[in-house]
Amino acid sequence: MNSLITKIVYRPPFGHNERDTDRQDLVYQFSISTGSRSYDSKWLHAYTLQLPTDLWLAICPPAATKANKMAAKKLGTPDFPIVTLDTSLIPRLPASYPTLFEGKKKKNLSFETIAAELGRSEVSVAAIFYGQAQASEADIQKLSTLLDIDQKLLADQLYGIPDRGRTLDMPPKEPLIYRLFEIVQNYGYAYKAVLNEKFGDGIMSAISFSTKVEKETDEKGDWAVITLRGKWLPYSRF
């Protein structure tokens, strides 16, 4: 099949390299021609393309090793710093907080890399590190191996129900976190009005919920994209 390929046009979204093939969750545009058939797509998630396996491998060869991917990001440099232990938070957070962050620093790993190993989102993994989300047994096993932390110690520290909400003062003092507070302060009632018009009387769940952070780049610079996805819960009538 590969020998029959006559043309491949492969274009990823803004902010990603042309050979960023390890990210099949991204959206790509393909135009592929072979000796017998053409495959043309509009913007589609890569994994939705119904292509023969060997043709797919010609477009997206196997991803680079984790070591190569980490090296390419130059983690631990001023341009790509990793988040490490903030000692001022230790009194507010569980014992697992310094344990996990010390392992993260020692291995020089980003949350993106750790999340890929655990098969979870970056935000959910970061929430585990800050004691705001529950770690499964599989999470603990993988974290122990990845961060070179004794599994029994980590299990003792992570088993149990998180005591959420202890990390922040309100209003927040940290500038980036304050911006998120400011967004709700400025647009909270606007969000509420639009949500009520679309869904009726209710609330958006923060329990049946997911969130993610993405980076977009265009000619005007870098943009942070935060997605919040929560189940709509109507108020009960009684």
Of the ranges 15-24, 55-64, 80-89, the best mean pLDDT one:
80-89
Asked if the bond preceding 171 is cis, omega within 30° of 0, the reply is: yes
Q: How far is CA 103 from the centre of its chain?
A: 20
pLDDT digits (tens, 9 = 90+) for 179-237: 999 999 999 999 999 999 999 999 999 999 999 999 999 999 999 999 999 999 999 99
Strands (E), the chain: 7-11, 27-33, 38-40, 44-45, 202-218, 221-234
Closest CA to 125 of 212, 61, 56, 51: 212
Architecture in CATH of 68-158: Orthogonal Bundle (1.10)
Output the average pLDDT for the chain. Answer: 79
pLDDT at 18 over 60: no
Q: Do domains 68-158 and 175-234 have the same CATH topology?
A: no
Q: Which residues of 94-103 are buried (b: 16+ CB within 10 A; e: fewer)?
A: bebbbbbbeb
Output the pLDDT for position 26: 45
Asked if residue 148 lies in contact with residue 154, where contact means CB atoms within 8 angstroms, the answer is no
For range 14-24, the mean pLDDT: 48
Where are the domains positioned within the chain?
Answer: 2-63, 68-158, 175-234
Mean pLDDT of 146-173: 92
Distances (CA, A) of 129 to 98, 126, 198, 212, 215: 9, 5, 35, 16, 22
Confidence band for 75, pLDDT divided at 50, 70 and 90 = low
- Is residue 137 annotated as part of the catalytic site, yes or no? no
CA distance 55 to 50: 10
Tell me: pLDDT of 43 over 70. Answer: no
Q: Active-site residue 18, yes or no?
A: no
Give the mean model confidence (pLDDT) for residues 121-129: 97
pLDDT digit string, tens, across residues 87-116: 999 999 999 999 999 999 999 999 999 999
Q: Output the pLDDT for position 36.
A: 53
The per-residue pLDDT for 24 is 45
**Marked catalytic residue, from 38, 136, 205, 210:** 205
User: Is 219 in the active site?
Assistant: no
Which one from 38, 182, 208, 210 is the annotated catalytic residue? Answer: 182
Fold of domain 175-234: Cyanate Lyase; Chain: A, domain 2 (3.30.1160)
